[in-house]
Amino acid sequence: MSLSRTLLSAPAPEVAPLLLGALLHVTDHEGTVTVRLTEVEAYHGPVDPGSHSYRGRTERNRVMFGPPGHLYTYFTYGMHTCANVVCSPEGIGSGILLRGGEIVEGLDLARARRATSRVDADLARGPARLVVATGITLGDGGVDVVAGSRVRLELREPVAAFSQGPRTGVSGPGGSDEFPWRFWIPGDPTVSPYKAAAVKKVNVRETP
């Protein structure tokens, strides 16, 4: 087993900081885009109410329960795709959401795909943006990013320092300080702005 896959077979919260500074290469007929990861979030099903895999296997999350080093993609909010690197041994639903990064190769291609962003730092700042900028699609779900053909993860030397805190957009117990599983490189401009989960809408009744 490769060194990368051995590292990835630990629980997501342990692996997540090791992905900071790592390179993700995505190649298609248009070319190659590479991001240097600056922000990630860990989701560890066995203990984590915020994880898609907390309530067991479903059609959507089944690759989270597969072997480590594969890509878990999902579609959300009716329009966005997000990507995770699967962690932990087969049978345990664990993964790391790729939330932000710096484009270090294929800048022109990333700019063309993300025409709405006015600054390069915004190209892959946020999980759905990162997916668009790199060219990852829903169809990449399940691919092995360690063996790496179209999508390849290249681990680098761990960063000297990182910050951690509560996850973005996670509501309920999973969003509390009990799960400070968002990790980022402090001060980096490609880290997405922290947003607490939207408060659950209170049931307002019209008085008749």
114 touches DNA by CB under 7 A: yes
120 touches DNA by CB under 7 A: no
106 touches DNA by CB under 7 A: no
201 touches DNA by CB under 7 A: yes
Least Å from the CB of residue 46 to DNA: 13
CA separation for the pair 39, 19 (Å, rounded):
9
Q: Which of 4, 34, 38, 53 binds DNA (CB under 7 A)?
A: 53
Element at 127 (helix H, strand E): helix 127-134
Of 122, 111, 147, nearest to 4 by C-alpha is: 147
164 touches DNA by CB under 7 A: no
CA separation for the pair 158, 192 (Å, rounded):
20
Beta strand segments in 8-154, E: 23-28, 31-44, 71-76, 80-86, 94-105, 151-154
Residue 67 or 157 having the CB closest to DNA: 67
CA separation for the pair 168, 57 (Å, rounded):
23
Q: Which of 3, 79, 119, 160 binds DNA (CB under 7 A)?
A: 79
187 touches DNA by CB under 7 A: no
159 touches DNA by CB under 7 A: no
122 touches DNA by CB under 7 A: yes
* CB distance 181 to 47 below 8 Å: no
CA separation for the pair 156, 34 (Å, rounded):
13
User: Binding residues for DNA, per CB under 7 A?
Assistant: 41, 43, 50-53, 55, 58-61, 64, 72, 75-80, 82, 84, 95, 97, 114, 116-117, 122, 126-130, 167-172, 192-193, 197-198, 200-201
